[in-house]
Amino acid sequence: MRMSAHPFVDEALITAVSGRGGDGVVAFRREKFVPRGGPSGGDGGRGGDVVFVADRNLSTLLDLKRRRIIRASRGADGGTNDKKGASGETVAIHVPIGTMVFAADADVDCDEPLIDLRQDGQRWVAARGGNGGHGNARFKTSTRRTPDFALPGQEAQNRELRLSLKLLADVGLVGFPNAGKSTLLRRLSAARPEVASYPFTTLTPSLGVVEFGDSRFVVADIPGLIEGASDGAGLGHRFLRHIERTRVIVHLLDLGAWIAENRDLIADYRAIRQELKRYRPEMLERQEIVVLHKIDLVPETERIEFMENQLGELGIQPIRVSGATGEGIPDLIRAMHQAVEEAIGNELTAASESELSEPGS
């Protein structure tokens, strides 16, 4: 079995510490033939920031799991002859797109994210560096010619933060464990998730890019759900949240389990839908594609038609697919592309209507 080289980590607790501002300096000019020179103490430099940057090339918070304290450098003190101290170096921490940052302080509301980093290159200052203190040259006036004081630099910020990653994908593959999601993702894209014939092989969501003509969309293989997942059973909330941001849900029904184990696929379908509803009721409003997977294991066409008729009574028109042989894959990709385009169109329409309804629009 192929093991992942980079473990998937979707939660991290860190302390972000910015740089303290440099101190202002008390100094006076000592030029030749100027017995009582004026003030020349420079300002301190600004402390460095700690900044999070969304990076599409990352898919895990593993590095932050290992790096609990992130500290920016202090600003340098001011110098003589009005020289300003150098600013502290800002520390840029790259995180995957879809990372949400929460306050982890006990006295702060931690339910709402401070920031949701959803766009590649998006930046957010987690801890802002302190301003440098003014040197005594700043305080010279017509009545105060030789100020003998300066200000210290501003203190650093120290923030306890919790990072939580929610995958951003156009399509999410869902189904019971061992429904063949990983096999299907391998067939759909260049992704190479682990594949084996037992439940819970996939403990890590995998992303793959699917091409359709000139278009590309991202598909996520979400680990298998079980009844009670919305209450935390099995992989529970840890992976349910990765379905939240998918535009389209592709629901796999395992024909292999139906044949070999006499599983009730209609009951399976309803159970997964119920878990999604209990977790986030609005998830049932997403566009959905139902797939009868592993048709290569059912040689009798009549048996597949029987299952199609059962789903038809629920108003569902499934797509027949085999991730192992590739049968039905072009039809599935076409359906996914159409559903993604419709979902994006609906989002744009909703955003436009929201702008028109705002006061002053």
Query: Concatenated DSSP letters for 307-343?
Result: HHHHHHTTT---EEE-TTT-TTHHHHHHHHHHHHHHH
Residues 13 and 69 both lie in one domain = yes
32 CA to centre of own chain:
62
What is the spatial distance between Cα 169 and Cα 171, in angstroms, rounded to a whole number? 6
Residue 207 shares a structural domain with residue 123: no
The one-letter code for the residue type at 341 is E
CA angle 209, 253, 170 (to 5 degrees): 25
Digits of tens for pLDDT over the chain (361 positions)?
233 344 567 788 999 999 999 999 999 987 766 555 789 999 999 999 999 999 877 877 888 877 889 999 999 999 998 999 999 999 999 998 889 899 987 555 567 889 999 888 999 999 999 999 999 999 999 888 889 999 999 999 999 999 988 767 789 888 887 777 788 888 887 544 443 333 333 445 677 778 888 888 888 877 655 444 334 444 444 556 667 778 899 999 999 889 888 889 999 899 888 888 887 888 888 899 999 999 999 988 889 999 999 999 999 999 999 998 999 999 999 999 999 999 888 877 877 776 666 655 4
Dist. CA 42–CA 83, nearest whole Å = 5
0.75 surpassed by pTM: no
Calpha distance 277→258 (Å, rounded): 24
Residue 40 near residue 82, CB atoms below 8 Å: yes
Q: Quick check: 151 and 134 in contact, CB under 8 A?
A: yes
Co-location of 196 and 332 in the same domain: yes
What SS3 class is residue 222? coil
- The total of structural domains in the chain comes to 2
Structural domain of residue 50, as residue ranges? 1-165
Q: Are residues 159 and 177 in the same domain?
A: no
Cβ atoms of 348 and 354 within 8 Å: the answer is no
Contact status, residue 81 vs residue 28, Cβ threshold 8 Å:
no
On whether both 159 and 278 belong to a single domain, the answer is: no
- Whether residue 134 is found in the same domain as residue 236: no
One domain for residues 118 and 222: no
Is 52 in contact with 61 (CB distance < 8 Å)? no
Q: Are residues 78 and 58 in the same domain?
A: yes
On whether both 152 and 179 belong to a single domain, the answer is no
Sequence-distant (6+) residues with CB within 8 A of 134 are 24, 43, 150, 151
Residues 143 and 280 in one domain: no
CATH no. for residue 104?
Answer: 2.70.210.12
